[in-house]
Structure 1
Amino acid sequence: MILQQLQTYLRTHSQTSLEELVCQFQTDADALRGMLNLLIRKGRVRKLAGKQCGSCHSCAPESLELYEWVNSDST
């Protein structure tokens, strides 16, 4: 059931960070990565290259790990 909810969320928020997904679904980041990797293999989601915001290293890695919905006609 959460996989369907994740797809719906990504469809309505075309780009989102892993940190946002952890907060939204109150689920462990590694569990979400597993679901996101499944959606990546199916061609529905793509992982965007993580951007570096500076050299302070104080940002949570999950806030820089971005995902994008790429397929709007499949569920």
Structure 2
Amino acid sequence: MILSDLRDYIKVQRKVALIDLINHFHMDADAIRGMLGKWINKGKIKKIPLETSCGTSCCKCDPALTEIYEWVDNA
């Protein structure tokens, strides 16, 4: 996968969870995060902060399930 593949996928999906990117591209989470960082630095993608929790205090949620990324339109 190259950066433009990641960009195009997120652009079409608008919002996507990290786990979906892992499954779609068959890549490690850290590798995808590194590529996402390039687009975040360019202001094209933003990480959406998790606003709600599952209601428990165990902190055992897989970060890949709770990391959401969104395409940013800079018209």
TM range (shorter): 0.7 to 0.9
1:54 partner SS: coil
Aligned residues of 1:19 and 1:63 also touching (Cα < 8 A): yes
After TM superposition, what 4+ stretches of structure 1 lie above 4 angstroms from structure 2?
A: none
Q: TM-score, normalization: structure 1?
A: 0.85
2:69 partner SS: strand
Across the aligned residues of Structure 1 and Structure 2, the Cα RMSD in angstroms comes to 1.8
> Is there any run of 5+ residues in structure 1 with no aligned partner, and where?
none
Q: TM-score, normalization: structure 2?
A: 0.85
Task: Give me the identity figure in percent.
Answer: 41
Q: Which residue does the alignment assign to 1:60?
A: 62
Q: Larger deviation: 1-10 or 41-50?
A: 1-10
Aligned residues of 1:52 and 1:64 also touching (Cα < 8 A): no
How far off its partner does 1:59 sit? 3.4
Q: Which residue does the alignment assign to 2:40?
A: 40
Q: Distance in 2 between matches of 1:38 and 1:2?
A: 11
Q: Distance in 2 between matches of 1:54 and 1:42?
A: 34
